[in-house]
Amino acid sequence: MSQTETKALYFLKQFIAFLLWLGITAIFLYSPYSKLFQGFDFHKSVFSTKDNFFINAFTLDFNAFDSFRWKFLDLGFNSMVLAGIAARLVIGMELVLGLMLLFRLYLRKFTYPLVIIMLSVFIVYLLYILIVHGNSGDCGCFGNKIEMTPLMAIWKNVLIIIAACLLMYLLPGKPHKIDMWSSLVVLLLSICGPFIVAPLNDDILPATVLNETIDLNPLYNTSPAPFKELRKGKHIIAFMSLTCPHCQKAAYLLQTIQGKNPGIPIYLVLAGHPSQQAEFFKRSHAEAIPHMLFTNTQVFINYTHHPQADTHFGVPAIYWVNNSVIERKSSYYQLDPKEIETWLK
């Protein structure tokens, strides 16, 4: 091989290494960013008197961190606070790897192996989701901005692992005297960052105390009526629109909570067209939760009435009902399994 060909091959390898390094670095920097900063989204309700159902719903998604935090409830965490801590630590580790890659710190010795280990753990989790829930829904890898099914996420992680293995030889990195101190600064900032951007006190927002009577009799004037008696005892009753994206998220969270805590009595009252139920349950996986399709639209609006909102109603409306009295009202990001179980006692 001539000297020219050798140089050409060398530069080709360096160019490939640069592209692989740039791609992995971008992914590990964008991933924590998307979970912490992306997802502020407003949706307003439009009611169709002709079709007699809600086209959309008035809701506010505070940030994509909520969805990611719920993944840890699905893994068995019984407290929103503990799930939030675990979520922040995982985001922090992603940021550590992103910055270590960016500044090329301990690439072959530490960073590449940790990338492979972390993504392997993610693959195991995604395989669990694939087996339990099927290849539907969003894995949450990139917050609310880039939707990926579990299978897509698995292939993404496999490709990144292959790229990391190649980079061990194509771009091993060169040690510098300040690598240790730089790594310590990166570690400190990355682990603390998610706790600063998304403070822990956001996880312990209490449900609003109402103590208002709710007339649930109209639910039993509909066919089919609820098979369980909601007018007596304690229940978590959620009023949702089938077309509301945040209702789908709330339903996903509720099915996660009930799956890990089957003793919590949850009931869904859904508004929308029957043809929309399949998509709603495909995204929320909540078909196992007792539910009904409620067709009395005016009564549904009264149930979700919010005088302070411009549209005067909002979904999801989640009520903690005790003998036909709404003792508390919560948003889906305020649902804590441990707090609900304490309320049920």
pLDDT digits (tens, 9 = 90+) for 112-133: 999 999 999 999 999 988 988 7
Per-residue confidence (pLDDT) for residue 154, from 0 to 100:
96
Mean pLDDT confidence for 101-118:
95
Q: Is the pLDDT of residue 276 over 90?
A: yes
Per-residue confidence (pLDDT) for residue 60, from 0 to 100:
37
Q: Band the pLDDT of 306: cuts 50, 70, 90.
A: low
Q: Band the pLDDT of 48: cuts 50, 70, 90.
A: very low
Q: Is the pLDDT of residue 57 over 70?
A: no
Q: Is the pLDDT of residue 61 over 50?
A: no
Mean pLDDT confidence for 192-221:
86
Look up residue 231 and give its DSSP letter.
Answer: S
Q: Band the pLDDT of 49: cuts 50, 70, 90.
A: very low
Residues 82 and 76: their CA atoms lie apart, in Å, by: 10
Task: Identify which of 199, 200, 187, 190 has the alpha carbon closest to the alpha carbon of residue 92.
Answer: 190
Task: Identify which of 49, 54, 67, 59 has the alpha carbon closest to the alpha carbon of residue 243.
Answer: 54
Residues 133 and 130: their CA atoms lie apart, in Å, by: 6
> Helix (H, G, I), strand (E, B), or coil: what is residue 213?
strand
For the chain, give the mean pLDDT: 86
Look up residue 88 and give its DSSP letter.
Answer: H
Highest mean pLDDT out of 51-60, 75-84, 155-164: 155-164
Could you give the C-alpha distances from 29 to 11, 37, 289, in angstroms and in order?
26, 12, 37
* Residue bearing the bigger pLDDT, 36 or 215: 215
Task: Identify which of 67, 248, 70, 193 has the alpha carbon closest to the alpha carbon of residue 142.
Answer: 67
What confidence tens digit (pLDDT) does each residue in 212-251 have?
999 999 999 988 899 999 999 999 999 999 998 889 889 9
Instruction: Provide the whole-model pTM.
Output: 0.77
Mean pLDDT confidence for 148-176:
94
The domains of the chain, with CATH numbers, are: 3-38+64-201 (no CATH), 205-344 (3.40.30.10)
Q: Are residues 286 and 277 in contact, defined by beta-carbon separation less than 8 angstroms?
A: no
> Helix (H, G, I), strand (E, B), or coil: what is residue 343?
helix
